[in-house]
Amino acid sequence: MRIIVISYSFTGNNEALANSIAAEFAAEHIKITAIGPRTTGAIILDMILNRTPQINPITAQVEDKDLVLFVGPVWLGQVASPLRTCFKELKARLGQYAFISISGGALGPNSKLAGDLKKRVGKEPIALLDLHIADLLPPDPKPTLKDTGSYRLTDKDVIKSLTDTVVKTVRKIIS
Ligand SMILES: Cc1cc2nc3c(=O)[nH]c(=O)nc-3n(C[C@H](O)[C@H](O)[C@H](O)COP(=O)(O)O)c2cc1C
């Protein structure tokens, strides 16, 4: 089974994770980029108004026999809006997929994520891994939104450990 990684990242965390996952699977890696300037304000409006921002063309030829690993942030409890656009474009020819995120997690689990994915892609993922920055920080005092929002995933050992979790889970499912 061919594995393709398709990722979107605003501040670099999910890009760092996606780069590492793609390297581990020796997979083709497509990076989604939104057209035009992106601001936190525009992101919040996208999410509230259910917008799908324009993205640059997706270069991969995705076929239904491929396994696509989508990697990207969670915003306001949902999949980041540029990936919505990507789902719209790909869902007719998408086979199995997984969604992987390194999100903030300061307010606890993103409980609406599974439902959001199913609604937007039209089927459930084979794996949904919502990894949290809050779990990477000291538990006391409890990490705040400010702490998780300013965290940048650059530590090689941390990236490796998160990647191992993802790779192990995906390999177990597809073996
Ligand atoms: C506008 C906005 C909304 C966010 N909402 C959530 C959320 O609902 N749940 C969560 O766990 N993290 C949330 N986050 C945190 C991001 O998911 C987290 O910082 C992520 O690592 C950013 O990924 P990136 O660096 O790949 O863009 C939010 C971040 C932003 C900017």
Residue 125 pLDDT exceeds 90: yes
Q: Which atom of ligand 1 is nearest to the CA of 80?
A: 17
Q: Where are the domains of the chain?
A: 3-169
The answer to whether 162 and 17 are in contact (CB under 8 A) is yes
CATH of domain 3-169: 3.40.50.360
Q: 16-32, pLDDT tens digit by residue?
A: 999 999 999 999 999 99
Residue 12 pLDDT exceeds 90: yes
pLDDT value at residue 36: 84
Q: Which atom of ligand 1 is nearest to the CA of 43?
A: 1
Rounded to whole angstroms, the Cα distance separating 142 from 138 reads 8
pLDDT value at residue 96: 97
- Whether ligand 1 lies within 6 angstroms of the CB of 102 is answered as yes
- Whether ligand 1 lies within 6 angstroms of the CB of 12 is answered as yes
- Whether ligand 1 lies within 6 angstroms of the CB of 149 is answered as yes
- Whether ligand 1 lies within 6 angstroms of the CB of 105 is answered as yes
- Whether ligand 1 lies within 6 angstroms of the CB of 10 is answered as yes
Checking DSSP bridges between strand 78-79 and strand 28-31, what pairing results, if any? unpaired
CA-angle at 5, arms to 4 and 10, nearest 5°: 155
Rounded to whole angstroms, the Cα distance separating 152 from 63 reads 33
Q: Which atom of ligand 1 is nearest to the CA of 130?
A: 11
pTM to 2 decimal places:
0.98
Q: 102-112, pLDDT tens digit by residue?
A: 999 999 999 99
pLDDT value at residue 61: 87
Q: Which atom of ligand 1 is nearest to the CA of 152?
A: 25
Q: 30-88, pLDDT tens digit by residue?
A: 999 999 888 999 999 999 999 999 999 998 889 999 999 999 999 999 999 999 999 99
Helix axes 81-90, 40-48, angle to 10 degrees: 50
Q: Give 45 Cα–ligand 1 centroid separation in angstroms.
A: 14
